[in-house]
C-alpha cells in the first residue's frame, strides 16, 4: 500500500490494552496509517508496547501523542475518559476525529462533548469483541473479524468522519451498526453487562465457600461454572467503570433479573414443576434466535 492510500496519516492511541493493541496490529498489518503514536498512563504498559514494537512513538503524555493526529483512539477504561479528554483538548488539531472502544457510549459522548473543542469530530465506537485476557501482549489483529462494531455519533456529526471510522473497523472485518448511544447502553446492559455482573457474583460466591468445598468446585467446574469463571476473568478496572458508567441501565435490567430469579426460586421451594418447565422451555427459543443470527462462536475462542 502506498502512502497515498493511508486511511489516516497519524493515529494516536491513548491506552494500549487488549483492544487497543489488537487494533494497532490490524492497522499495521493493513497499512492503514502512516504513523502510530502510543500513549498510556502506566510506564510498565508503555514499556511492553515498545518491546512489542506496536507503534512509531511512545509517550506517557496523552497530549503529545494526540498532537497533529487525524484520529485519536481512546482505549482506556471509561473512568479515565474525562481526564484524557481534558489532557488532549489543547493538542488536538482542527478536524481531528476522536473515537473510542468503550462499552458504554452515552457517558463517552458526554465526557468528550463537554471537554473537547468544537472543531473536533466525535465518533464513539464499540467493537463487540474481546477475550478474558488483558494488556498489550494479549492483542491480535484477528480479534475483531466477523463481529459487530456499534458507532454512536450524534445526528449532526460530520458524515465523512463517521465513514472513516466505519471504514477502519470494516478493514478489521467488522460489521457496522449506527445506533443512538443511550439505546446502545440499554442493549449492552443485558447482552454483556448483566452477564458479567452475574458471572463475577457467582464466582465470588464460590470464593467464599469453605476451603474443601471450594477445591471441589474448581475440580468439577465442567457443568456450567467454568463458563462463568472465564467471563469473570475479564479486567476488573474496565468492568468497575462499565458498571458505574452504565448504572441506570444496569440497575434496571438487574431489577428485572432479580424479580425473575425470585419467581423461579419460589417455584422451586413450592415444587411448581410446570412453572419451571415452562420457563426453561421458553428460554430455548432465544437460543434458536442466537444460532440463526450466527452469533454462536464456532471456534471455541472467546470473543
Binders of a copy of itself in range 267-296 (CB under 8 A): 268-269, 271, 273, 276-277, 279-287, 289-290, 293, 295-296
Kindly tell me which of 94 and 271 has the beta carbon lying closer to a copy of itself. 271
- Cα–Cα distance for residue pair 233/161, rounded to 1 Å: 35
Rg, C-alpha atoms of the chain = 21
Kindly tell me which of 135 and 195 has the beta carbon lying closer to a copy of itself. 195
* Least gap, CB of 232 to a copy of itself (angstroms): 4
The rounded Cα 218 to chain-centroid distance in angstroms is 28
Query: Does the footprint of a copy of itself cover residue 209 (CB under 8 A)?
Result: yes
The mark string for 21-60 relative to a copy of itself (x by CB under 8 A, - otherwise) is: ----------------------------------------
Query: Does the footprint of a copy of itself cover residue 208 (CB under 8 A)?
Result: yes
Selected binder of a copy of itself within 76, 131, 152, 192 (CB under 8 A): 192
Query: Does the footprint of a copy of itself cover residue 191 (CB under 8 A)?
Result: yes
Sign of CA dihedral 43, 149, 11, 123: negative
How does strand 97-100 pair with strand 175-178? unpaired
Query: Does the footprint of a copy of itself cover residue 154 (CB under 8 A)?
Result: no
Q: Which candidate, 78, 109, 146, places its Cα nearest to that of 296?
A: 146
Query: Does the footprint of a copy of itself cover residue 197 (CB under 8 A)?
Result: yes
List the interface residues with a copy of itself, window 64-123 (CB under 8 A): 79, 103
Structure letter (DSSP) for residue 278: H
* Least gap, CB of 5 to a copy of itself (angstroms): 31
Kindly tell me which of 6 and 257 has the beta carbon lying closer to a copy of itself. 257
Query: Does the footprint of a copy of itself cover residue 198 (CB under 8 A)?
Result: yes
Structure letter (DSSP) for residue 266: H
What secondary structure does DSSP assign to 142-155, as a single string?
Answer: GGGTT-EEEE---T
- Cα–Cα distance for residue pair 15/46, rounded to 1 Å: 9
What secondary structure does DSSP assign to 87-103, as a single string?
Answer: HHGGGPPTT-EEEE--S
Q: Which candidate, 111, 120, 183, 189, places its Cα nearest to that of 151?
A: 183
Cβ–Cβ under 8 Å, residues 279 and 262: no
Question: Which among 20-28, 57-65, 153-161, 191-199 is the span making contact with a copy of itself, rule CB under 8 A?
Answer: 191-199
- Cα–Cα distance for residue pair 4/19, rounded to 1 Å: 27
* Least gap, CB of 153 to a copy of itself (angstroms): 18
Query: Does the footprint of a copy of itself cover residue 9 (CB under 8 A)?
Result: no
* Least gap, CB of 19 to a copy of itself (angstroms): 13
Amino acid at each position: 500500500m502506498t502512502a497515498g492510500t493511508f486511511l489516516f496519516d497519524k493515529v494516536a492511541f491513548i491506552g494500549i490494552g487488549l483492544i487497543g493493541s489488537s487494533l494497532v496490529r490490524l492497522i499495521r498489518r493493513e497499512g492503514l496509517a502512516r504513523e502510530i503514536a502510543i500513549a498510556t498512563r502506566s510506564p510498565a504498559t508503555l514499556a511492553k508496547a515498545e518491546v512489542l514494537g506496536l507503534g512509531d512513538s511512545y509517550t506517557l503524555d496523552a497530549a503529545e501523542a494526540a498532537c497533529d493526529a487525524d484520529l485519536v483512539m481512546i482505549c482506556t477504561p471509561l473512568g479515565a475518559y474525562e481526564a484524557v479528554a481534558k489532557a488532549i483538548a489543547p493538542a488536538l488539531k482542527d478536524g481531528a476525529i476522536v473515537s473510542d472502544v468503550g462499552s458504554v457510549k452515552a457517558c463517552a459522548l458526554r465526557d468528550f462533548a463537554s471537554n473537547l473543542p468544537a472543531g473536533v469530530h466525535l465518533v464513539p465506537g464499540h467493537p463487540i469483541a474481546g477475550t478474558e485476557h488483558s494488556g498489550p501482549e494479549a492483542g491480535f489483529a484477528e480479534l475483531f473479524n466477523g463481529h459487530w462494531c456499534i458507532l454512536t455519533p450524534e445526528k449532526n456529526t460530520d458524515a465523512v468522519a463517521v465513514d472513516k471510522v466505519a471504514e477502519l473497523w470494516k478493514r478489521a472485518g467488522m460489521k457496522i451498526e449506527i445506533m443512538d448511544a443511550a439505546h446502545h447502553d440499554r442493549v449492552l446492559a443485558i447482552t454483556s453487562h448483566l452477564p458479567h455482573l452475574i458471572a463475577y457474583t457467582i464466582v465470588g460466591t464460590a470464593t467464599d465457600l469453605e476451603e474443601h468445598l471450594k477445591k471441589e468446585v474448581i475440580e468439577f467446574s465442567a457443568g456450567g461454572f467454568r463458563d462463568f469463571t472465564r467471563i469473570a476473568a475479564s479486567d476488573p478496572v474496565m468492568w468497575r467503570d462499565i458498571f458505574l458508567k452504565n448504572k441506570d441501565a444496569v440497575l434496571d435490567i438487574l431489577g428485572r433479573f432479580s424479580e425473575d430469579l425470585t419467581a423461579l426460586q419460589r417455584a422451586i421451594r413450592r415444587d411448581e414443576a410446570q412453572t419451571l418447565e415452562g420457563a426453561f422451555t421458553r428460554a430455548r427459543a432465544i437460543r434458536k434466535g442466537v444460532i440463526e443470527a450466527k452469533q454462536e462462536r464456532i471456534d471455541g475462542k472467546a470473543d
